[in-house]
Structure 1
Amino acid sequence: MTATAPPKTSTETASGAGPASKTDVKSLGASLTGQILEWYEWSSYAVFAPFIATAMFNKGDSTSALLATFGVFAVGFLVRPLGGIIFGRVADKRGRKTVLMITIIMMAVASTLIGFMPTYEQIGIWASVGLLIIRVLQGFAHGGESAAANSYIPEIAPNAHRGKWGSMVYVSIFGGSVIAYVLGGLISIVLNDDQIGSWGWRIPFFLCALSACVALYLRRHMKESDHFKEIDSSEPSVESLARPPRTTPPTSSSNSRPAWVNILLVVGMVSGVTGAHYTWTSYVSTYAISHEGMSTQGAYWTTVVAQTAGLIALPLWGGLSDRIGRKPVIYICAVGMGILQIPLMALIDSRPWTLLIASTVGVVIVAAGGALLSSIMSEVFPTAQRTHSIGLAYSLSVAIFGGTAPYIYQWFVAHDLAWASGFYVVALCVLTLISMYILPETKGVDLRDVK
Structure 2
Amino acid sequence: MSTSQQRKIVLAAVIGNLLEFFDFTVYSYFALTIGREFFPAGDPVTSSLLAFAVFAVGFVMRPIGGFVLGRYADRAGRKPALTLTILLMAIGSVWIGLMPTYAQIGLAAPVSIVIARLVQGFAQGGEFGAATATLLEMGGATSRGFRASWQLASQGGAALLGSGLAASLAFLLPEATMHSWGWRIPFLLGVLIAPVGIYLRRHIREEPRTLKTTAKQHDPKRGLYLRNWFLMIFSIMGMSVSAYVMIYYMPTYCIQYLGLPSKMSMLAGVAASTISLVMCPIYGAWSDRLGRRKPLIIIGRILLIVLLYPAFWVMTHFLTLPVVLAALIVLMLCYTMGSAPSYALIPENFPKHLRAAYMSSAYAIAVSAFGGTAQLVAAWLIRVSGNKMAPAWYMIGCVAISLIAVSMFEETGGKALD
User: Do the structures match in fold with TM over 0.5?
Assistant: yes
Any residues of structure 2 matched to 1:233-248 within 5 Å, and which?
none
Q: Does 1:389 align with 2:371?
A: no
Aligned-partner SS, 1:258? helix
Q: Does 1:370 align with 2:339?
A: yes
Task: Provide the residue aligned with 1:246 in structure 2.
Answer: none
The answer (yes or no) to whether the contact 1:310–1:360 under 8 Å persists in 2 is no
**1:228 deviation in Å?**
5.5
Task: Provide the residue aligned with 2:15 in structure 1.
Answer: 33
**2:406 equivalent among 436, 444, 447:** 436
Task: Provide the residue aligned with 2:225 in structure 1.
Answer: 259
**1:125 deviation in Å?**
2.4
**1:206 deviation in Å?**
0.7
TM-score, normalised by the number of residues in structure 2: 0.93
**1:214 deviation in Å?**
2.1
Aligned residues: 411
In 2: Cα distance, 1:447 partner to 1:22 partner: 22
Aligned-partner SS, 1:446? coil
In 2: Cα distance, 1:230 partner to 1:154 partner: 21
Q: Structure 1: any 5+ residue segments left out of the alignment?
A: 1-12, 14-19, 235-251
Task: Provide the residue aligned with 1:283 in structure 2.
Answer: 249
* Superposition CA RMSD, Å: 2.1
The answer (yes or no) to whether the contact 2:85–2:124 under 8 Å persists in 1 is yes
In 1: Cα distance, 2:302 partner to 2:163 partner: 28
**1:223 equivalent among 188, 205, 208:** 205
**1:404 deviation in Å?**
1.1
**1:268 equivalent among 234, 241, 258:** 234
Task: Provide the residue aligned with 2:305 in structure 1.
Answer: 338
Once the two structures are aligned, what percentage of the paired residues are identical? 33
**1:256 deviation in Å?**
8.5
Aligned-partner SS, 1:199? helix
Aligned-partner SS, 2:191? helix
In 2: Cα distance, 1:366 partner to 1:346 partner: 18
**1:167 deviation in Å?**
0.4
Aligned-partner SS, 1:332? helix
The answer (yes or no) to whether the contact 1:155–1:227 under 8 Å persists in 2 is no
**1:322 deviation in Å?**
1.3
In 2: Cα distance, 1:124 partner to 1:290 partner: 27
In 2: Cα distance, 1:374 partner to 1:228 partner: 24
Aligned-partner SS, 2:183? helix
Task: Provide the residue aligned with 1:242 in structure 2.
Answer: none
Q: 1:304 to 1:108 in 2, by over 3 A?
A: same
TM-score, normalised by the number of residues in structure 1: 0.87
Q: 1:170 to 1:216 in 2, by over 3 A?
A: same
Task: Provide the residue aligned with 2:59 in structure 1.
Answer: 77
**2:289 equivalent among 323, 330, 335:** 323
**1:223 deviation in Å?**
1.7
Task: Provide the residue aligned with 1:140 in structure 2.
Answer: 122
In 2: Cα distance, 1:403 partner to 1:394 partner: 12
Task: Provide the residue aligned with 1:419 in structure 2.
Answer: 389
The answer (yes or no) to whether the contact 1:89–1:387 under 8 Å persists in 2 is yes
Q: 1:395 to 1:278 in 2, by over 3 A?
A: same
In 1: Cα distance, 2:4 partner to 2:162 partner: 30
Task: Provide the residue aligned with 2:267 in structure 1.
Answer: 301
Task: Provide the residue aligned with 1:3 in structure 2.
Answer: none
Q: 1:272 to 1:192 in 2, by over 3 A?
A: same
In 1: Cα distance, 2:212 partner to 2:95 partner: 38
Q: Does 1:357 align with 2:326?
A: yes
Q: Which moved more, 1:439-448 or 1:344-353?
A: 344-353
**1:114 deviation in Å?**
0.4
Aligned-partner SS, 2:340? helix
Cα deviation 1:388-444 (Å, max 9, x = unaligned) = 100111111111121111111000122213333322111111111211222111112
**1:231 deviation in Å?**
4.6
In 2: Cα distance, 1:362 partner to 1:174 partner: 14
Aligned-partner SS, 2:204? coil
Cα deviation 1:246-304 (Å, max 9, x = unaligned) = xxxxxx9x949432211111111111111111111111111101222211221112321
In 2: Cα distance, 1:179 partner to 1:229 partner: 40
**1:385 deviation in Å?**
0.7
In 1: Cα distance, 2:291 partner to 2:370 partner: 25
Q: Structure 2: any 5+ residue segments left out of the alignment?
A: none
**2:314 equivalent among 347, 365, 390:** 347
**2:369 equivalent among 400, 417, 423:** 400
**1:387 deviation in Å?**
0.5
In 1: Cα distance, 2:51 partner to 2:214 partner: 47
Task: Provide the residue aligned with 1:46 in structure 2.
Answer: 28
The one-letter amino acid of 1:347's match is V
The one-letter amino acid of 2:394's match is Y
Structure showing greater radius of gyration is 1
The one-letter amino acid of 1:264's match is F
**1:229 deviation in Å?**
6.0
**2:50 equivalent among 63, 68, 79:** 68
In 2: Cα distance, 1:118 partner to 1:233 partner: 45
In 2: Cα distance, 1:37 partner to 1:106 partner: 11
The answer (yes or no) to whether the contact 1:24–1:223 under 8 Å persists in 2 is no
Q: Does 1:93 align with 2:60?
A: no
Task: Provide the residue aligned with 1:380 in structure 2.
Answer: 349
The one-letter amino acid of 1:335's match is I
Task: Provide the residue aligned with 1:24 in structure 2.
Answer: 6
Aligned-partner SS, 2:41? coil
The answer (yes or no) to whether the contact 1:79–1:140 under 8 Å persists in 2 is yes
In 2: Cα distance, 1:57 partner to 1:346 partner: 32
The answer (yes or no) to whether the contact 1:77–1:398 under 8 Å persists in 2 is yes
The answer (yes or no) to whether the contact 2:293–2:341 under 8 Å persists in 1 is no
Aligned-partner SS, 2:341? helix
**1:149 equivalent among 122, 127, 131:** 131
**1:21 deviation in Å?**
5.1
Task: Provide the residue aligned with 1:110 in structure 2.
Answer: 92
The answer (yes or no) to whether the contact 1:310–1:367 under 8 Å persists in 2 is yes
Q: Which moved more, 1:413-422 or 1:107-116?
A: 413-422
